[in-house]
């Protein structure tokens, strides 16, 4: 699977991050656990305080990263009782631990976000546990592998209970009044999910997708925006598999800071790109096309094309396209798979986190662009998907899915027609 740290035998390692309070009786077992995990083939990073720091020379296989805490006297003074020390250490370590872990998760130290499987945190270090959970090192969802809690449907600014209520009403409605389900997917990418739907709802499910492949001649698509007509000619001037296509679909909106990091990350990557900057896609710019950062256009002149809307399917089918930076809207994801194009994923809301997780961890055809958008991480992820070993493997897998998608289509549609006629 993509996104594991490379080591000698060509396999990528999952990584465990360890952190304990700086007491002998806490550090010793943690370092033993580190050695044992390492011996079983996992990567291990020990985050540690500067106070009572472990000696890295004694554990050459483990990566040590100091958290740069500032301790008040009462955390270390022989005059403080143990409870005072524990409270002071916990309070002083919370923010630096969070910052060090966030940096690791952004790929600091040369790792990848996906490499970090979990953090093992000293049981007496409760703020660190909270920080790890908030940063997404949280639980898998029972029965819904590979999803984690943070991949579940959410919409920023919406009340979670209200959203769950809506989803539950949808499910109840389906159970109560539906004869069958038509889904725009195909068996090869969601076989067990389809079986589960059929089993749990006792309803026939017809995976008739990818729908757009069922047409000999693509139907005229209704587009909410006027597409730019120069994209294909611009792509024609580029060699095969040299261009990154960037689009976050028709609804997603990023904040101004994220937009700037996207722009400078693209500039810093050095790759040619076609970027759909939709009017209204940056918060604060209203319905207007957001202004590009100062100096950006000069920086990318001749290398980047920016449009308000593109004919996406034609763009993805162009041989110059190498990879797609997407928000993982379901249509965009299917369109990318159907053209065998690997993805950089930046899910924004609703079901996009679920789809992104499948892209990266189930189908192995994409890489996270970075949980927190930062230009250095962005440039690194872009380079990886365009020219790295991981990118090449993802392209191969995407190509296999493309073959399966094109073989999958009309028989499910035939079954659906038969079922409709039987009603």
Q: Binding residue for ligand UDP (CB under 6 A) from 96, 111, 249, 370?
A: 249
Q: Which is nearer to ligand UDP, 313 or 400 (CB)?
A: 313
Minimum distance from CB of 243 to ligand UDP (Å)?
A: 15
Minimum distance from CB of 335 to ligand UDP (Å)?
A: 5
Total site size for ligand UDP, rule CB under 6 A: 16
Q: Are 271 and 244 in contact (CB under 8 A)?
A: yes
Rg (alpha carbons) of the chain, rounded to whole number: 24
Q: Which is nearer to ligand UDP, 131 or 263 (CB)?
A: 263
Q: Are 283 and 258 in contact (CB under 8 A)?
A: no
Single out the catalytic residue among 26, 59, 225, 399.
26
Binding of ligand UDP by 234 (CB under 6 A) = no
Binding of ligand UDP by 95 (CB under 6 A) = no
Distance, CA of 270 to CA of 265 (rounded, Å)? 9
**How many Cβ atoms sit within 10 Å of the Cβ of residue 156?**
7
Q: Which is nearer to ligand UDP, 18 or 231 (CB)?
A: 231
Segment interacting with ligand UDP, rule: CB under 6 A, options 40-48, 65-73, 122-130, 248-256: 248-256
Residue 361 among the catalytic residues: no
Single out the catalytic residue among 48, 112, 115, 122.
122
Q: What share of the chain is helix, strand, coil (3-state, %, to 5)?
A: 45, 15, 40
Site track for ligand UDP across 295-324, x = CB under 6 A? --------------xxxxx-----------
Binding of ligand UDP by 250 (CB under 6 A) = yes
Structure tokens at 153: 């449907």
CA distances from residue 381 to 127, 191, 248, 302, 378 in whole angstroms, order as listed: 30, 30, 17, 22, 5
Write the Ramachandran bin of 372: left for phi over 0, alpha for psi from -120 to 50, otherwise beta. Answer: beta
Phi, psi torsion values for 159, nearest 5 degrees: -70, 125
Phi, psi torsion values for 92, nearest 5 degrees: -75, -25
Site residues for ligand UDP, window 251-280 (CB under 6 A)?
A: 251-252, 276
Q: Which is nearer to ligand UDP, 107 or 340 (CB)?
A: 340
Distance, CA of 43 to CA of 117 (rounded, Å)? 10
Q: Which is nearer to ligand UDP, 3 or 249 (CB)?
A: 249
Q: Which is nearer to ligand UDP, 22 or 210 (CB)?
A: 210
For the chain, the straight-line distance linking the first and the last C-alpha, in angstroms and rounded, comes to 44
Distance between alpha carbon 3 and the CA centroid of its chain, in Å? Answer: 11
Q: Across the chain, which distance is largest between two alpha carbons, in Å?
A: 84
Minimum distance from CB of 156 to ligand UDP (Å)?
A: 14
Segment interacting with ligand UDP, rule: CB under 6 A, options 17-25, 246-254, 317-325, 387-395: 246-254
Binding of ligand UDP by 247 (CB under 6 A) = yes
Residue 414 among the catalytic residues: no
Nearest to 355 by CA among 262, 249, 203: 249
Site residues for ligand UDP, window 329-358 (CB under 6 A)?
A: 329-332, 335
Residue nearest to ligand UDP (CB): 329
Q: Which is nearer to ligand UDP, 100 or 276 (CB)?
A: 276
**Which sign, positive or negative, has the C-alpha torsion 128, 134, 135, 137?**
positive
Catalytic residue positions? 26, 122
Residues at the contact surface with ligand UDP, assessed by CB under 6 A:
247, 249-252, 276, 309-313, 329-332, 335
């Amino acid at each position: 699977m993509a996104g594991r740290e490379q080591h000698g035998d060509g396999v990528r390692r999952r990584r465990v991050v360890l952190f304990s309070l700086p007491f002998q009786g806490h550090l010793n077992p943690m370092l033993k656990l580190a050695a044992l995990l390492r011996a079983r083939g996992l990567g291990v990073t020990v985050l540690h305080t500067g106070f009572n720091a472990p000696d890295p020379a004694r554990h050459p296989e483990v990566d040590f990263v100091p958290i740069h805490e500032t301790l008040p006297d009462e955390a270390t003074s022989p005059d403080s009782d143990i409870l005072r020390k524990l409270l002071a250490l916990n309070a002083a370590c919370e923010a630096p631990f969070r910052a060090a872990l966030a940096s690791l998760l952004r790929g600091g130290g040369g790792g990848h976000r996906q490499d970090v499987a979990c953090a093992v945190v000293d049981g007496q270090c409760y703020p660190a546990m909270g920080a790890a959970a908030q940063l997404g090192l949280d639980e898998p969802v029972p029965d819904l592998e590979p999803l984690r809690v943070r991949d579940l449907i959410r919409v920023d600014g919406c009340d979670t209970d209200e959203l769950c209520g809506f989803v539950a009403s949808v499910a109840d409605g389906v159970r109560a009044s539906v004869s069958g389900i038509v889904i725009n997917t195909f068996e090869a990418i969601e076989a067990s999910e389809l079986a589960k739907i059929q089993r749990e709802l006792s309803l026939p499910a017809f995976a008739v997708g990818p729908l757009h492949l069922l047409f000999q001649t693509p139907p005229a698509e209704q587009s909410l925006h006027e597409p730019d007509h120069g994209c294909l000619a611009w792509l024609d001037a580029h060699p095969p598999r040299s261009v990154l296509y960037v689009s976050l679909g028709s609804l997603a909106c990023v904040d101004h800071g994220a937009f700037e990091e996207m722009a400078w990350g693209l500039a810093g990557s050095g790759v040619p790109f076609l970027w759909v900057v939709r009017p209204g896609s940056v918060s604060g710019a209203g319905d207007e096309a957001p202004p590009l950062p100062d100096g950006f256009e000069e920086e990318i002149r001749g290398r980047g094309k920016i449009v308000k809307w593109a004919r996406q399917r034609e763009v993805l089918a162009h041989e110059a396209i190498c990879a797609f930076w997407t928000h993982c809207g379901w249509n965009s994801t299917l369109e990318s798979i159907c053209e065998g194009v690997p993805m950089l994923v930046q899910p924004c809301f609703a079901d996009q986190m679920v789809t992104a997780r499948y892209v990266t961890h189930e189908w192995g055809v994409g890489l996270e662009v970075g949980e927190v958008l930062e230009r250095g991480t962005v440039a690194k992820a872009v380079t990886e998907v365009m020219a790295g070993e991981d990118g090449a493997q993802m392209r191969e897998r995407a190509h296999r899915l493309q073959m399966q998608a094109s073989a999958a289509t009309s028989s499910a549609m035939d079954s659906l027609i038969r079922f409709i006629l039987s009603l």
